[in-house]
Each structure stands twice: as C-alpha cells, then as structure tokens.
Structure 1
C-alpha cells in the first residue's frame, strides 16, 4: 500500500495493527481533522461539543454534504442530510435501529459516492462493547487476501436485494448487480456489503452470482472471517463527545448490536469531493 503523509500532519497513535487510523490529542483543532482522516483513513477526536446546528456546519466544512431531496426526499426515512442513528426500538428500522450491521461500504445500494462518514456521539449511556462501530482496513486486508476469496470479487459483480424499503426507496425491487470495485479518482477499493448474520431483521441480502446459496454463504463466511482479523479491525467503544471520521474509500465499517436498556445516539453526516492530491494514493493490488 502506498501512502503520502502531509508535511503538517498531526501526531497520534494508530488505531489498528495494520497502521490504519489515528487517535488525535484532545487539543487538536477541528480544522486539522480533515487532513488527519485523509492521511490516516480514520480519525478519532474525543471531548467535542456539537449541537445539531454546529454539527451540520462542521460536516459542510469537510466537503460537499450529501443530502436527499426532491425525487429522493424519502430515502432513509426522509433524513435529508444529517441522519440520527438513535438506536430506535422500531423493529422495522434496521440501519437506525439496535441490531448489528455487517461490514459495508456507505452508499453502495443507493449508488451514492460517499468519501467521508462523520459520526458524532451526542449521548451515550450504559454501553461497553455493545453498540461499537467497527472499521476494517480493507486495503491491507486485500493485500493479504487468499486467492479463493479474491476470485468472486475479481469477477466484478455481486447481487443485492434491499429489504428495508423505507430506507432504500430508490433501488430496484428484486435482486440487482453492483460492481465489486469503485474508483472515484482518489482510491480504488472494494465496493462491498456483507450479509446479515441471521438476526430477526435484515436491511439487505447479497449473493455470489452462479453459486448455490450454500456455496455463496460459505464464501461470505470465509470473507468475513478474513476481514475481521484483529490486524485489520478497529472497534470503537463510544463515549459522549466522540467524533469519529471514516474515509469510506479506504475502509469498510459496521456496528455491534445494542443491548435493550442502553443509549447510543449518534449524528451521521456524509460528504463527497473531487480527487485530492494530498490524499494517500493507495490502490488495491492485482486489480
């Protein structure tokens, strides 16, 4: 993996054994956070104070804010631009609910380019490992991926089915193909969402074209085992005031489920931007 480090990059400790991510000192100015995530793939800053308005302004300072209006106004239950991941007990809502989410690329089912994912913990109570956000260094995982796991990805497409129609209002009703790689001019990387683990409610399903359901499930299980190896994975235990920014082009991310009596209220923004020359020039090998 090739990378470039900005000459004025802030210092901090990496978040994974593979070197992904940085935990920034508390006194790091918010103006330095954008460069930190471009240099390191993930940036964590604690003890930040935002309300809904100031969080929206911060998101807008990072790039072109992604929003859903006009013909797409109902996407994501009509959240428009800032999604409240409030751990709702509404059983019909999976993405904003309390169950786990498998590793995935933001924007994959909707076909939306998402460069940065911005997560802020407005309120957190009574949680430990539950509710953690997990982030995978997918570029490092690809470098070490065994050939049998690579081949279905190199074939170019997987097929998806969106169950959570209240969130994915603009996608096809049945199975449809999605490319396994994406390149928006900055980083070439996997475009992927793993299947749910059999919990009561799933937001989507995915399969390998041409394989039996059993063979497809076995391949996904092996792929998940590889991607969640400790060397590539960061598990973030949330505290109120945490600001976690994820480079969606270099990572996959997911969520551990929440226990019934816990509280985890996050604000999520997404931005996109043109190719940035100071960002790491990492690419997937053998693609």
Structure 2
C-alpha cells in the first residue's frame, strides 16, 4: 500500500494520506509510518472512523499500551464508559457525571505523564465529537528548541534533572488522591534529565514535562524558578510550533520524547469527545 506523507511546513507535523486504519497494516506500511513519525514527531490521519478496538489495535503497532492516567478528584467513575487502555477526554456530563477528563479548560504546555518513572513514549488521540471552534491542539518541537537554545542556558541545564510534579493535571486540577503542593522543592513526581536522548533516533531534546510545580534539584528556589521561566519562554516560541484544528475522525499520534503540546479552551456548552491511548516508554536518559 502506498502512503503519502505531507509535511505541515511548520517545525513539526505531517499528514499521512492513503490509509484506512481499520484495516490491517503490513509490516512495510507500518515501517513507513514509523519513519515518518520519527521524522515529523506528530502524524495526522484524517477521516478515520475507529472503534475502541480499532484504536487499540493501531496503537499497539508502536508498543505495549499504558493504562489511562489518574484524573481529577471529581472524576470518579469517568472511565466507566471506556477500556482501561483508553482515556476519554471530554467536557460532556451525563446523569450528573463527567464522562471524561480535562473539561473545556485550556491545557498548558506539557508532556504526557512525565511525572512517572517511565513515561509513555507516545500518545494517540482520536476525535469523536468536536466543538464548532476552540479546542485546537498545538505542538512544539523540542529537538529544534534545544538546537536553538542560547549557549548560557544550555550550559546551565547540562547534566541537570527536573522534578515533574504528579499532583495536578494539565488543566491545573488536583488528581485523585493528591494533595496541594505548598513547596515545589518537595513536590511528588519523577526526576528526569532536562536534556534527553531519543532511544530510536539518537537525537537530543529538551525534556521539561510541564511548568506548574516543576523544580530543578540542586538550585535554590529562586534560581530554579528563573531557569525554568527562561526555558519555557524559549521552547514555546512560535517558530518551534504547529497548531492542529480538529475535525471529526482525525487521529493524531505524537512523540512525547521530543514534543510538547497544549490545548485551547472552548465553549463548554458544546460537546468535545476524544479517545486517547498511550504507549509505554522507558526511563528518560
């Protein structure tokens, strides 16, 4: 099967045409998809009408799936409509209960589940329902951000780790069972290198997770805050980014090892329903 890979023209991202992801993928076709993914970090497949079984089967080509992450404290029962491997991202409320996580708020720049010791290497997101406007997802290329990092900042982060707080979601809500962080120096989470090596490509990328409650061990609080503010101001510049405007049936897969992403807020009176899988990764090095 011949596929067509069309780069976005931005710092990352490409559309893949010529595939129905409900059909089996030959080894040769998957190899082409995987290489395009390594090259562009984010791949878009339009017009995909996938069941949850289809989504899981496609995702498993890339590796073993993680279970869905912990959601906010008021999300008890939200995953009842889903499989353990699938995280529903939605603002929809049925019978007084949300059917998914993150609601209609803005999601700040982040890397998925970087607060665990072995974060997922990839996330796959499939759109079921979308609002008429808003809810766009932006991505930033952390290879390019590191390449363009000023030399003084690069020297400051060489060999350093950052603590990735586990207490809050990307929209700033407390996760179930978590307490509010009072002192970021003792926030729960995982410590990862601020520069990581991609295990498949060998490329070096900034690896920051998310800004909220982050801390650089070994620095005093003021120095950590200053350094992190400078890094985030740099890596979220428009020249490193691309924004996707969703359509129903879109599927995106992105590489959490070398890209960060965010989501725009949207009108909560309109429905947005997305199903996500996450593919197991290894410890960042």
CA contact (8 A) 2:164 2:192 kept: no
CA contact (8 A) 2:130 2:272 kept: yes
CA contact (8 A) 2:88 2:100 kept: no
The yes-or-no answer on 1:263 pairing with 2:276 is: no
The yes-or-no answer on 1:194 pairing with 2:202 is: no
CA contact (8 A) 1:88 1:98 kept: no
Deviation, 1:234, is 0.9
Aligned length: 249
Q: Which secondary structure state, in structure 2, belongs to the residue aligned with residue 235 of structure 1?
A: strand
Counterpart of 2:86 in structure 1 is 82
Deviation, 1:213, is 5.0
Deviation, 1:125, is 2.3
Q: Which secondary structure state, in structure 2, belongs to the residue aligned with residue 58 of structure 1?
A: helix
Counterpart of 1:111 in structure 2 is 117
Counterpart of 1:158 in structure 2 is 162
Pick closer, same or farther for the CA change 1:109–1:156 going to 2, 3 Å: same
Instruction: Give the Cα–Cα distance (whole angstroms) in 2 for the partners of residues 107 and 259 of structure 1.
Output: 26
Per-residue CA distance 1:57-100 (angstroms, 9 max, x = gap): 222233211126xxxxx84468531000113579x999623222
Counterpart of 2:132 in structure 1 is 126
Task: Provide TM-score, normalisation by structure 2.
Answer: 0.72
Counterpart of 1:185 in structure 2 is 199
Mean Cα displacement is larger for which, 157-166 or 40-49? 157-166
Counterpart of 1:24 in structure 2 is 16
CA contact (8 A) 1:118 1:244 kept: yes
Unaligned runs of 5+ in 2: 169-173
Deviation, 1:258, is 2.5
Per-residue CA distance 1:238-260 (angstroms, 9 max, x = gap): 11110111022221122222233
Pick closer, same or farther for the CA change 1:259–1:162 going to 2, 3 Å: same
Instruction: Give the Cα–Cα distance (whole angstroms) in 2 for the partners of residues 114 and 151 of structure 1.
Output: 28
Deviation, 1:138, is 0.5
CA contact (8 A) 2:87 2:100 kept: no
Instruction: Give the Cα–Cα distance (whole angstroms) in 2 for the partners of residues 215 and 258 of structure 1.
Output: 35
Instruction: Give the Cα–Cα distance (whole angstroms) in 2 for the partners of residues 193 and 239 of structure 1.
Output: 27
Instruction: Give the Cα–Cα distance (whole angstroms) in 1 for the partners of residues 232 and 2 of structure 2.
Output: 33
The yes-or-no answer on 1:11 pairing with 2:15 is: no
Per-residue CA distance 1:224-279 (angstroms, 9 max, x = gap): 232222221011111111011102222112222223323221111011369xxxxx
Q: Which secondary structure state, in structure 2, belongs to the residue aligned with residue 12 of structure 1?
A: strand
Instruction: Give the Cα–Cα distance (whole angstroms) in 2 for the partners of residues 154 and 250 of structure 1.
Output: 17
CA contact (8 A) 1:16 1:232 kept: no
Pick closer, same or farther for the CA change 1:52–1:29 going to 2, 3 Å: closer
Counterpart of 1:201 in structure 2 is none
Which runs of 4 or more aligned residues in structure 1 lie more than 6 Å from their structure 2 counterparts after TM superposition? Answer: none
Deviation, 1:183, is 4.2
